[in-house]
Amino acid sequence: MGDLSAACKAGEAARSVDYPTINSSVSATLGVILLRQGQAESARLVFTEAVAQATTLLEHTSNDYRTLYSKALALCGLAVLGDAALVPEASTAVQAARAVNRDAGVVQRTLRLLEVLAVADSDGVLAPVRVVAMGKNV
């Protein structure tokens, strides 16, 4: 893995710019970085913010696959942090995103982010989301 400290600084800098169409993606990615750095509570706050940002944007653009994937990633982060009840919602968001865009590059990016997050998933709660992201039925 690369330089998490530099990645965190870049993520924080990106969050300082309010750009609604990517805010949830920036926040979700920063949450993954924070979790990998062992900053669970900071990650939880950022993941929660990412879900709220995505939900707000999806009220206006329900077919925005990037935002759906970002919301799923943030929900997965919260699931890894102990709220496994969010896994079905994350799976639903991934399914909705795949219905809009299942291009190989988009799917591979999603799977890579889930793999990075899975390092902290000692209970394996993310397995169903990964199956959905790969396009298989759960």
pLDDT tens digits, 82-120: 999 999 999 999 999 999 998 999 999 999 999 999 999
Q: What share of the chain is helix, strand, coil (3-state, %, to 5)?
A: 75, 0, 25
Mean pLDDT split into 10-residue runs, the chain, 138 residues = 74 79 92 93 97 96 94 97 96 95 91 92 94 82
Per-domain boundaries in the chain = 4-133
Of the candidate CATH numbers 3.30.70, 2.80.10, 1.25.40, 3.40.50, the domain formed by 4-133 belongs to 1.25.40
Q: Is 113 helix (H, G, I), strand (E, B) or coil?
A: helix
pTM: 0.92
Supply the pLDDT for residue 137.
64
- CB-based contacts of 35, cutoff 8 Å, min separation 6: 43, 77, 80, 81, 117, 120
